[in-house]
Amino acid sequence: MASTGGSVFARARSGSSKLQTQYDADGNEIEFDVREDEEQNVKLGQIIDLLLAAGYFRARIKGLSPFDKVVGGMTWCITTCSIDIDIDLLFQENSTIGQKIELTEKIVGVLPKMRCPHRIEPHQIQGLDFIHIYPVVQWLVKKAIETREEMGDYIRSFSVSQFSKNHKTPEDVAFDANKDKAASTVAGVKDVYKPQRRYKRQDVDKLRDEETRVHSTLLEYGRRYGISKSDHAEQDTGKSSKKAAAAAAGVAGKQAEPSEEELQEQEEKRIQMLMSGMSAMGLQEGKLTASAVGSIVGMQSAEIQQIASEYAEKQAEIEQIEKTERVGGAQQHKRVTGALTKQIQQQNSRLEEVMTKHAELHKVYLETQEKLKQAQSRSEKIDTEMEKLGATETDENQSVLQRLRSLVAMNENLKKQEQDFKAHCKEEMTRLKGQIEELRAQTSEDDSGDKERASLIDKQYTADKEKLHKIRLLLARKTREIAVLQRKIDEVPSRAEMSQYQRRFVELYHQISSTHKETKQFYTLYNTLDDTKLYLNKEVNLLNSIHDSFGQAMASPGAKEQFLKQFEQIVDGVKTNKAKVEKRKQEEKMKRDRLNDDYLDLIEKQRLYFKTVKDFKEECRRNEVLLSKQRK
């Protein structure tokens, strides 16, 4: 549990604090300050909402700890998913540290077997790191809801099938009533509209061509067709082959092609030939006469001629369109090719210009990005230093930091004055040197006057130099003072460090308290078992002594009477001890009931306190809203 503080303490400054009350192993109240993370509290609320939406309503109980709510919800979700795993997930409220660690390790071991996409460690669950627990709980809730829906559909279908075995709905009764009638109606409709054979061919074995057999079969059922598509395809193929042969041989002109009338006559002859070998089906048996075949052909000839004429017209229109397209197609292709070539050249030139411009802009962009990265890194360093400086500021060292700021400002001012003074000295020295050279150049008559001026200049230079030395000494002394103050500030621990120390001590106290409680329970159990053993040994010794003295006591009436008196005394002593133990038991029970009543009263006071705090916050919010409205 000690390794879970890293992610929590990183946000320690953004949390709030409150007093919590717990009990040690002896039942004494202990109050301590605990840091709370607002983000962790938000994630805890979201986890509880998810568990309530999934159906785990124990998360509403306010008396449960966050660990019991979250881990109990995760165990419930895993159990609901009905995963085939060889692990016993037994959740108990108010478990010991060992039981909590064992349960969290089992949960972490089950998640990969359930193919959970998120990974979590046991110490994160024990340390209540809700930010990392939230995605796992979200996935488990989704998996539990999906499993419950699947099981609901399966149970619903199974219940419907079981119901249908012995019972029927009104819709099923109506369907069974209309089933026979509907089946007979459908069968009748199929019989009415099924194909009826009108003719029967006598010489089936003579038809070896597949296409002829197909047309003969269609004629047997009263279906008549003209030239089939396969015939057209064969004719077109024959035409193309003939044209290719003529072109290869250098033959000019076209091959002779049959006309539409000839094709129509050939089709009629083929139909008459097929019909001649058929006999009518129905009441009259035998072969068809020549007059019957002639009448059938005569009845269909008008329709055949009409279809043939329409086909000839469509064929002529198609040939005319092909000729027109064949004439102007080449010129149109050349014009389109030239235009496309010109457009391609224009686009290529534009592409080169754009690529050149893009290269220049990309170069400028890279330079700008490099400058931006440098500025961002410099800004990040400044922000980091400012954050560090702000983190070290507290109420205790605020005055020291204020003084430090004033000293730093003074230091910067002195540095600036020193630089200005140096520049002024250089300028003055340059000016004086120039004047010296001018004076030397003008005249050398008055040497004594020059010496006086030189001595004045030397004195002024010496004074200025001493002044500069004093300023440097003052700057060094101020710098030492600043360094001393900086070391003192560094020695004072920050608020984040103090909160980490406090959290570590609280966790250590919890561990020691739980271990002490377990040890005390073990001592209590040992004392109870030892008392039980003592009473059992006394009982065994008493029974052995009764058994040993029973034979001697029964030998004479006096010994028998004395044995009975001793036995009655022993029974009275046992009853006295039993009454004392019962009285002690009742006292302990009354003490336990009294402590339980006190505990319930404290819980009620805590709930009332939380409710009062909530109402107070709501009233404060309303007061702020009213004040803002009044200011407006």
Is residue 609 pLDDT above 90, yes or no? yes
pLDDT per position as a tens digit, 135-192 = 888 888 888 888 888 887 778 888 888 888 888 788 888 888 888 888 888 888 887 7
Domain boundaries, the chain: 38-165, 195-225, 334-389
**What pLDDT is attached to residue 378?**
86
Is 595 a residue whose pLDDT tops 90? yes
pLDDT-derived band at 543 (thresholds 50, 70, 90) equals confident
**Cα 424 from Cα 397, distance rounded (Å):** 40
Query: In whole angstroms, what is the distance from residue 388 CA to residue 243 CA?
Result: 95
Q: How many angstroms separate the Cα of 588 from the Cα of each of 176, 244, 357, 489, 533? A: 75, 120, 94, 57, 21
Residue 444 is encoded by which pair of tokens? 């050398």
Lowest mean pLDDT among 34-38, 498-502, 585-589: 34-38
Least confident range of 103-117, 163-177, 279-293: 279-293
Question: 110 and 85 in contact (C-beta within 8 Å)?
Answer: yes
**How far apart, in whole angstroms, are the C-alpha atoms of residue 23 and residue 275?**
112
Give the span between the Cα atoms of 210 and 224, in whole angstroms: 17
CB 50 within 8 A of CB 141: yes
What is the rounded distance in angstroms from the CA atom of residue 608 to the CA atom of residue 611? 5
State the average pLDDT over residues 472-501.
87
Q: What is the mean pLDDT of the segment spanning 193-211?
A: 66
Each residue of 445-455: pLDDT tens digit?
666 666 777 88
For the stretch 127-140, pLDDT in tens is 888 888 888 888 88
- Band (pLDDT 50/70/90 cuts) for residue 480 is very high
Tokens for 624? 């702020």
18 vs 125 pLDDT, higher one? 125
What pLDDT shows up at residue 619?
93
Residues 383-394 have pLDDT tens digits of: 888 777 777 767
Question: What is the mean pLDDT of the segment spanning 595-618?
Answer: 92
Q: DSSP label at 62? A: T
Predicted TM-score of the model (pTM):
0.28
Say which residue, 208 or 197, is predicted with more confidence: 197
Average pLDDT of the chain is 76
**Distance from C-alpha of 364 to C-alpha of 358, rounded to nearest angstrom:** 10
Which of 613 and 335 is assigned the larger pLDDT?
613
Q: What is the pLDDT of residue 607?
A: 92
Torsion angle of the four alpha carbons 430, 432, 437, 442, in this order, in degrees rounded to the nearest 10: 140
> What is the distance between the alpha carbons of residues 579 and 573, in angstroms, rounded to a whole number?
10
